[in-house]
Amino acid sequence: MQGLGEDLSWVPAHKVATQRFPNERELRLKVCLLGEPSVGKTSLIRRFVHDIFDDAYVETLGAKVSTKELRVRHRSSGVAFHLLLHLWDIAGQHRVDFVTPDHYRGAAGALVAIDLTRRGTLEAVPAWVETFRASAGDVPALLLVNKQDLATQADIAPAVLRRAAQDCGVTPVGTSARTGAGVEEAIRLLLSELLEPHLRA
């Protein structure tokens, strides 16, 4: 099988409003961004959503919601999508037990961010994943190993990271909100998994 993220072609961000694929399917997807404070969640969203379609604060839920408009085509099947990707940054929720099921309800997937230089952020991942999937179900999730630009200060051994990711059923992807490395690749990988059921619809 071709790499999941590599099987999608994208309309460049600056052409999304004018350039379309034939017979696009309209689709809205909610993705939650989870993790401990100061792992770079908000910075990761800002890095990806460099041309925000809409930006709102959901006061009753305490989540910052950014929406990214995308046009993508699955190369193997030829199926194209006009996507509105709603990224829910669980803003202001400093511990996993502060988050209510309403934050997660209806989510198609999740991005769980950790700080490569703080092992404790990895140790908190099982609780984040467990509470998320208790509300959203067994949906795709990636583990964003953020702050790769500080790799010389890493506090998490690769073997420990791989084992933790496997135990939680999440795919690890290295990212750096500072440099942008890995951010778009992570979104591509997650979208490929999220779109898979819609290719058969």
Tens-digit pLDDT profile for residues 117-136: 999 999 999 999 999 999 99
Evaluate if residue 175 carries a pLDDT over 70: yes
Contacts of 84 (CB under 8 A, 6+ apart): 27, 28, 29, 53, 67, 68, 69, 70
Q: What percent of the chain has pLDDT over 90?
A: 66
Q: What pLDDT does 95 receive? A: 59
Evaluate if residue 186 carries a pLDDT over 90: yes
Which residues form the domain of 44?
4-199
The count of domains in the chain is 1
Q: What pLDDT does 133 receive? A: 95
Evaluate if residue 6 carries a pLDDT over 80: no
Q: Show contacts of 129-137: CB within 8 Å, 24+ apart.
A: 129/34, 129/168, 129/169, 129/170, 131/96, 131/97, 131/99, 131/104, 132/32, 132/34, 132/104, 132/107, 134/101, 135/101, 135/103, 135/104, 135/105, 135/107, 136/32, 136/104, 136/105, 136/106, 136/107, 136/110
The structure's pTM equals: 0.89
Tens-digit pLDDT profile for residues 37-81: 888 888 888 888 864 434 454 544 567 888 999 999 999 899 999
Closest alpha carbon to 179 in 13, 90, 47: 47
Longest dimension (CA), the chain: 48
Q: What pLDDT does 103 receive? A: 85
- Which CATH number belongs to the domain containing residue 17 in this structure? 3.40.50.300
* 8 A C-beta contact, residue 88 and residue 33: yes
Tokens of 57: 């604060």
User: What is the crossing angle of helices 41-48 and 183-199, to 10°?
Assistant: 70
Place 107 in a pLDDT band, splitting at 50, 70 and 90: very high
Evaluate if residue 99 carries a pLDDT over 80: no
